[in-house]
Amino acid sequence: MKKILKIVLALLFAIGILGAGSLVIEEIQTGNGCPKIWIIPACVIILICFIIPLISHILGKYNSLYFFFAGLATVIAAFASILQFTDNGECPKTRGGTPMCYYSLLLFTGLIILKIYQLKKKSSEN
């Protein structure tokens, strides 16, 4: 079960970093890859919110940073998803037309749930 959990977490991080990273590259190239939060491109914030929890996860410590950044991104993705769903905002879309904020919300929710599960399982083994 530990191995499956590690694989799923690695997949979620990989999907998230690749998706957010592609938007950051587009933002650098065109200046129009993703919406801005104040003057900061949201995709840059989301990419950072994937990278810091990944580092925390790999190191096996700094769980508070993991949850802070994953939680921040979850809130941003939830807010963006609500705006997208109500036609009050526009998220970048995949080639298939699905708003990427929906995927971000799912990925970060999954990362948080799996980390909680992992920590509970680890504490019950000790």
At residue 67, does pLDDT exceed 90?
yes
pLDDT level of residue 114 (50, 70, 90 thresholds): very high
Average pLDDT over residues 51-60: 92
CA 21 to chain centre: 11
**CB under 8 A, 24+ apart: contacts of 113-118:** 114/5, 114/8, 114/9, 114/12, 115/9, 115/53, 115/57, 115/63, 115/66, 115/67, 115/70, 117/5, 118/5, 118/9
Q: Write the CB contacts of 58 (distance below 8 Å, at least 6 apart in sequence).
A: none
Q: What is the rounded average pLDDT for all residues in the chain?
A: 91
Average pLDDT over residues 73-94: 93
The pLDDT, as a whole number, for residue 19 is 92
The predicted-structure confidence for 18-42, as pLDDT tens digits, reads as follows 999 999 999 999 988 788 888 999 9
- The whole domain housing 60 covers 2-125
Total domain count, the chain: 1
The pLDDT, as a whole number, for residue 54 is 94
The pLDDT, as a whole number, for residue 126 is 63
What does the alpha-carbon distance between residue 77 and residue 63 come to, in Å, rounded to a whole number?
21
The pLDDT, as a whole number, for residue 1 is 73
Of 97, 71, 102, nearest to 84 by C-alpha is: 102
At residue 103, does pLDDT exceed 70?
yes
Model pTM? 0.89
